[in-house]
Amino acid sequence: MNKEYLKDFPTLSKEKNGKRIAYLDSAATTQKPIAVIEAIKDYYEKINANPHRGAYELSVLATEAYDEAREKVRKFINAEGFEEIIFTKNATEAFNLVAMSYGMNFINEGDEIVISIAEHHSNLIPWQQVARAKGAILKYMYTNENGELTEEEIKSKITDKTKIVSVTQVSNALGTINPVKEIAEYAHSKGAIVIVDGAQSVPHMKVDVRDINADFLIIAGHKLLAPMGIGVLYGKKNLLEKMPPLMFGGDMVEYVYEQETTFNVLPYKFEAGTQNVEAAVGLSKAIDYLNEIGMENIEKHEKELVSYALDKMNKLEYVKVYGPKEVEKRGGVISFQIEGVHPHDVASIFDTFGVCIRAGNHCAQPLMRYMGINATSRASIYLYNDKEDVDRLVEAIEKTYEMFSKWR
């Protein structure tokens, strides 16, 4: 797969020390294919008008492009209606929208909000604020030694008092694939709504919101080959209809009087002001690109590379890999530590070899604290990676350990 698609990503032709870079940080952001870059360029050269605000041709074309992007997202995740797709500026804003609009209005004192210890801060801090403001109880589901949520742990934390369960489908810090469909089924049996963080799952596997029965699903466009500056909130229509707007201004209104305002219909009541139309156009083209390849093919490719990487890394006695031992329970994220080397040093040294990884707490400080560590190094794989990238990762690990061994 890599050889066929690598040419589509201009950034990946960049060289260091006479070799193309090995970009292994797609969990942070994905590279953009030429098709997406050209779509944005084409929009600015041929349209560049404000949607929903003009009767002239350019504005009509902008409206069509923006609405087409929404429809592409709807089909991509199998949502029922276009009104269930809300564009935001990123996944973080989408979490805050649900927390502030739904949480602040429908959570009461003594209610329980349940999340996992492995959540990104964007799916943690907003719920802290809701719990504090409403007198609710924020509870955590804790992972086992392999970074997995067990059925026993899930059922012990979700109770009749639980009103919200918000959980990642794939951990950005460990790569764990959580059983969100089963979590949703159990949470619904207790009367709770379920929010799924799809930032690390939707770009890498087929996600059907009706199959997993998520009440809300959140997507980060830039992790999906699309530009930065656009996110998606999917929500069931009956829930979105009763939620008040979070932002106020142009385009989210129906009528404005001196002392009161009536709001627009879905999805527009949540999209105040001028939107990031060019990013929506880029997202639309990114979905086309992914559909052409096939999400099943992307997932299969990633599993093969992760398996290849784990086989090699687990043979190095000075390397500790975190997360599930079974490849089928993992996404494309591999977090690890090299004995005696701080993860930040690892990332800096890897850069000299042209290997791009992430180091730090991965916006998951409570998880790191729970695991008894400060940080990990993280390699993350996507459709444009191949075995050569993995070989270079392992070679960089070996050279880094050897380098630090001389100083001990």
Q: Tell me the catalytic residues.
A: 363
Counting Cβ atoms within 10 Å, is residue 116 exposed (0-12), middle (13-18) or buried (19+)? Answer: buried
Beta bridge partners of residue 196, listed in sequence order: 167, 217
242 residue type, one letter? K
Instruction: Note whether 112 and 255 are within 8 A (CB).
Output: no
Q: Are strands 85-88 and 231-235 parallel, antiparallel or unpaired?
A: antiparallel
C-alpha span between 404 and 93 (Å, rounded): 42
C-alpha span between 234 and 236 (Å, rounded): 7
Beta bridge partners of residue 115, listed in sequence order: 140, 166
Give the position of tokens 């070899």: 353
C-alpha span between 294 and 316 (Å, rounded): 34
C-alpha span between 336 and 322 (Å, rounded): 6
DSSP E strands: which ranges in 3-89?
A: 15-16, 19-20, 22-23, 85-88
C-alpha span between 216 and 91 (Å, rounded): 12
State the CB neighbour count (10 A cutoff) for residue 221. Answer: 32
